[in-house]
Structure 1
Amino acid sequence: MEVGIIGTGNMGTILAEAMLNANAVSPSSMTVTNRTKAKATLLKNTFSELKIETNAIEVAKQSELIFICVKPHDVYDILNQIKSVMTKNHCVVSITSPISVMNLESQLACSVARIIPSITNRAFSGVSLFSFGNQCTEEWKKKLWSLFEKISVPVEIDENITRVSSDIVSCGPAFFSYLIQRFITAAIQETNINQETATKLASEMIIGFGELLKKGYYTLPTLQEKVCVKGGITGEGIKVLETELGDVFEHVFQATHRKFKEDLAHIAQQYSN
């Protein structure tokens, strides 16, 4: 299967590297393009058989499956550039949450899907969020599912939980990376531990934490119960978290949903023309 990637910024590159390193797609079967050619060249430096084209149309001509990995406001222009070379045998996938499958189907007469990846897919783990268009064939659904099973756990979601699902799966690693960094900084400020040691300990703790959940030894609630002995030190720390966290995560979801609504309003204007 010939795969094209339009846009090799952060997520486009992560998606390409994950598929290539997992041997889900061969380098000779992948064609990429990016507005800044240097970013595409970085991929070719690692995967020499990968092909680089100068624009989206040339990528679409050479590909059966096309991933659009640009900013939401730029997707409309890309769709207009490639739709003249799309046939019913093609499949186009957008990886950004504000672009719905209905937006894609309003411009293209081929199979379409929205697949929201996560940076965790780079390690062949974590979830990828699926939404299929009404005209997406069963054959393409199976191909896409099989492809992403090699780098993630595919999960099909309803349209009405797109943003919160993306917050958890796609934004979550950044949110919790920030929290862990704050955790490390506080340890350094309040004790004699140094940056290198604190970072090593926290990183290995998170890796071990994930393994416990992955292997099914504990759920999130039972893990806390096992560590938090009544009257112990962990319990004192939990009391502080309960008091001081307040509604911080509610505010996080409120903020992401406000931005999402702004993006949807702008995109609605584009696709109503």
Structure 2
Amino acid sequence: MTVGFIGTGSMGRTLIEAFIQAGKLKPADILAANRTKAKAALLAKNHPGLRVAHSNRQLAEESPCIFLCIKPKEYRAVLEEIKDVVRPNQIVVSITSPVMIRDLEEWVPAKVAKIIPSITQAVLSGNSLFVPGSRLTEEDQEMLWDLFSTVSRPLVIEERHTRIASDLASCSPAFLANLLEKLADAAVEETKIPPEAARSLVTQMAHGLGRLLTEGGFTLESLQDRVAVPGGITREGLNLLDQDVGPVFNRLIRLTHAKYDEDVQQVQHSLCTGKKV
């Protein structure tokens, strides 16, 4: 089956290369299109057999399953281009959280799903967030589940929880990387430890932490209890973090939700203006 990817930017490329790495898709199974054709051409060069479509319309005509790996503001133009060639037996998957399934189902007659990936899929890990549309059959859902199971642990969520689930699964790698960077930088500033040593220490710690939580039988709570003995240095540090850092995450979630609500309104205004199919 040909799987088409409209958009080969950061996340589109990540998904394509993850599916190839996992052995689930061969390059010859993939048809890609991108506004900047050089990006799609580079993918084809790096993965011989991968084909580059001349247009989004050609891709939609030739792909039983189509992934829309594009920014919210690009949806109107792409849907305008492909809506007349998309068929009811095709599957259209959006990886963009502010684009609502009901709006996509008004634009195209295909079976629609929303699946939000994460950068962690680059190492065949993490969750992908699965929101099935109303037209997907059980067989369609099984196919998509099987596809994403090779690069992630799929998790079915309600569309109303897309934003918070995306914060935790997709945005958090950047958030936590920023915190680790700040921790290493503070260590350098306060103690003059060599920067390369500080970065190595926090990076290797994060690697081990992930394994402890996924393979070592620890939970977030039990790991803290195991490391932090009463009256010890770690417990003092945790008390400070609870006091000063905890509230930051409440503010962070409020911020991401406010931006999400703004994006949803902009996308719906764009998609709901003009003729649909």
Give me the TM-score of the superposition, normalised by structure 1: 0.97
| Structure 2 residue matching 1:130: 3-state secondary structure | strand
Q: Structure 2: how far apart are the matches of 1:41 and 1:175?
A: 32
The list of structure 1 runs, each at least 4 consecutive aligned residues, that deviate by more than 3 angstroms after superposition, is none
Q: Structure 2: how far apart are the matches of 1:242 and 1:157?
A: 29
Q: Deviations over 1:145-165 (max 9, x none)?
A: 000000001111012211100
Q: Structure 2: how far apart are the matches of 1:122 and 1:69?
A: 15
Structure 2 counterpart of 1:225: 225
Structure 2 counterpart of 1:22: 22
| Structure 2 residue matching 1:84: 3-state secondary structure | coil
Q: Structure 2: how far apart are the matches of 1:154 and 1:52?
A: 28
Q: Does 1:64 align with 2:64?
A: yes
Q: Which runs of 5+ in 1 are unaligned?
A: none
Q: Structure 2: how far apart are the matches of 1:168 and 1:108?
A: 30
Q: How far has the Cα of 1:263 moved from its partner?
A: 0.8
Letter in 2 for 1:180: L
Q: How far has the Cα of 1:135 moved from its partner?
A: 0.9
Matches within 5 A, 1:33-48: 33-48=33-48
Matches within 5 A, 1:118-137: 118-137=118-137
Q: Structure 2: how far apart are the matches of 1:17 and 1:246?
A: 36
Q: Deviations over 1:182-239 (max 9, x none)?
A: 0110111111311111111111100100001111421000000000011111112112
Letter in 1 for 2:40: A
Q: Structure 2: how far apart are the matches of 1:37 and 1:87?
A: 25
Give me the TM-score of the superposition, normalised by structure 2: 0.96
Structure 2 counterpart of 1:236: 236
Q: How many residues align?
A: 273
Structure 1 counterpart of 2:84: 84
Q: How far has the Cα of 1:57 moved from its partner?
A: 0.7
Q: Deviations over 1:37-95 (max 9, x none)?
A: 22212212220110112321111122111100110121122122112111122100000
Q: What fraction of aligned residue pairs are identical, expressed as a percent?
A: 42
Query: Does the 8 Å contact 1:34/1:54 carry over to 2?
Result: no
Structure 2 counterpart of 1:112: 112
Q: How far has the Cα of 1:246 moved from its partner?
A: 4.7
Structure 2 counterpart of 1:194: 194
Q: How far has the Cα of 1:112 moved from its partner?
A: 0.7
Q: Structure 2: how far apart are the matches of 1:104 and 1:216?
A: 42
CA RMSD of aligned residues (A): 1.1
| Structure 2 residue matching 1:112: 3-state secondary structure | strand
Q: Structure 1: how far apart are the matches of 2:22 and 2:195?
A: 34
Query: Does the 8 Å contact 1:18/1:151 carry over to 2?
Result: yes
Q: Structure 2: how far apart are the matches of 1:65 and 1:73?
A: 22
Q: Structure 2: how far apart are the matches of 1:38 and 1:93?
A: 24
Q: How far has the Cα of 1:33 moved from its partner?
A: 1.1
* CA 1:182–1:26: 2 relative to 1, 3 Å: same
Letter in 1 for 2:68: I
Structure 2 counterpart of 1:255: 255
| Structure 2 residue matching 1:85: 3-state secondary structure | coil
Structure 2 counterpart of 1:160: 160
| Structure 1 residue matching 2:107: 3-state secondary structure | coil
Q: In terms of mean alpha carbon deviation, does 57-66 or 217-226 score higher?
A: 57-66
| Structure 2 residue matching 1:54: 3-state secondary structure | coil
Q: Structure 1: how far apart are the matches of 2:262 and 2:236?
A: 41
Letter in 2 for 1:118: S
